Amino acid sequence: MNALTTQLDEAGNLKHFLTIEGLERSLLIDILDRAEGFLGVAQQAVKKVPLCRGKVIANLFFENSTRTRTTFELAAKRLSADVLNLNISTSATAKGETLLDTLRNLEAMHVDMFVVRHATSGAAHFIAQHAAPHVSVVNAGDGRHSHPTQAMLDMFTIRRHKGDFSALRVAIVGDILHSRVARSQILALNTLGAAEVRVIGPRTLIPADAAEALGVRVFHDLREGVRDVDVVIMLRLQRERMSSALLPSEHEYFQLFGLTEERLATAHAEAIVMHPGPINRGVEMDSQVADGKRSVILEQVSNGIAVRMAVMSMCIGTQNLQAQQAGEQRDAH
């Protein structure tokens, strides 16, 4: 099934959020604009808005990620939704029940949205295709394929610091080959019209056809790759890559591709440094950079809540918003 038709309803509104691929620039801008409006919720005495009141959102995390699950949970609660967190390792699927049986049981409990994280590429699409018509699915990371909300919170962070994308040079550093985050970031940056997207890393961790397939410039030298860029995004290096002959050692990786103040000096003077977290200090970057004035890594975490609120409210909060607006119009008359 086409990614675009899977994600949008008949009216062209967001029904699922599975991948950046196929989505129009205007829809990505809409997500960013809505997230802007949600940023202030964290400063309120009561950190809630009623857009998803009465809705039930289930976090289905088949793969561990405390940071992503927590920000999705906070986002859902700030939208006034009820939240179910399923511990998959002790759930029915671990006892032999099929994934579809688990979904059907949750749907029978009137769940309105599944937030899915899975080690298998395409898992979120599979669930979206088999879910009941009233259920929305948000992909919280599937295999090597996609992590769309991470990409959008990164775009949101970039826009807040840099404004328009059209003049920006962005460098993504690390394991491009296996990174679902990198794939989603590249799609988002190209859709939003970034001037140039670069990928930097060892030859063993960059797809051979990256330039043509991903629409990027490829560099194997960090200093040259970050020269004059406005944004540097460091990827988390999976430690299993070290034991699979793709890289000799963490030490050697840092010597060649670890971000230090010295290497960052070739970037634009006002360049920002990003990382999806958690950071392997002394592998992807040193602490001086991670904690330095150019780092916006903690901002990414805060922004992630607002962006996930925007995505979830667009998928399942529209009916509540329309009802609220209709009520306000009646009261006005």
Catalytic, 67? Answer yes
Same domain flag for 178 and 312: no
Encoded tokens for 242: 């070290």
Tell me whether residue 18 is in a domain: yes
Same domain flag for 155 and 225: yes
pLDDT of residue 77: 97
Q: Is 142 helix (H, G, I), strand (E, B) or coil?
A: strand
Same domain flag for 18 and 127: yes
Same domain flag for 319 and 285: no
Number of H helices, E strands in the chain: 14, 9
Task: Find where tokens 């602490």 sit.
Answer: 287
Same domain flag for 129 and 159: no
Residue of 55, 69, 78, 117 marked active site: 117
Residue of 48, 53, 67, 281 marked active site: 67
Tell me whether residue 234 is in a domain: yes
Tell me whether residue 332 is in a domain: no
Residues 6+ apart with CB under 8 A from 268: 169, 228, 229, 230
CA distance 189 to 31: 14
pLDDT tens for the chain, 333 residues: list them.
Answer: 455 457 999 888 999 999 999 999 999 999 999 999 999 998 888 899 999 999 999 999 988 788 899 999 999 999 999 999 986 755 555 555 677 888 898 899 999 999 999 988 999 999 999 999 999 999 999 988 999 999 999 999 999 999 999 999 999 999 999 899 999 999 999 999 999 999 999 999 999 999 999 999 999 999 999 999 999 999 998 766 555 657 778 888 999 999 999 999 999 999 999 999 899 999 999 999 999 999 999 999 999 999 999 999 999 976 544 444 444 454 555
The answer to whether the CB of 284 falls within 8 A of the CB of 259 is yes
Same domain flag for 46 and 140: yes
CATH number at residue 28: 3.40.50.1370
pLDDT of residue 238: 76
Residue of 16, 145, 147, 169 marked active site: 147
**Dihedral of CA 284/61/14/30: which sign?**
negative
Catalytic, 180? Answer no
DSSP assignment of 93-112 equals GGGT--HHHHHHHHHHTT--
Residue of 90, 95, 293, 330 marked active site: 95
Same domain flag for 188 and 317: no
Catalytic, 34? Answer no
Catalytic, 68? Answer yes
- 218: β partners: 199
Same domain flag for 289 and 216: yes
Residue of 15, 16, 19, 68 marked active site: 68
Domain of 88 in residue numbering reads as: 3-145+301-325
pLDDT of residue 100: 84
Tell me whether residue 331 is in a domain: no
Same domain flag for 219 and 161: yes
CA distance 129 to 212: 30
How many folded domains does the chain comprise? 2
Its pTM stands at: 0.91
Same domain flag for 306 and 266: no
Catalytic, 147? Answer yes
pLDDT of residue 39: 94
Q: Shortest CA distance to 206 belongs to which of 160, 240, 257, 156?
A: 257
pLDDT of residue 94: 55
Tell me whether residue 249 is in a domain: yes
pLDDT of residue 327: 47
pLDDT of residue 245: 59
Tell me whether residue 169 is in a domain: yes
Same domain flag for 167 and 278: yes
Q: Shortest CA distance to 145 belongs to which of 108, 107, 180?
A: 180
Tell me whether residue 330 is in a domain: no
Q: Is 202 helix (H, G, I), strand (E, B) or coil?
A: coil
Same domain flag for 232 and 305: no
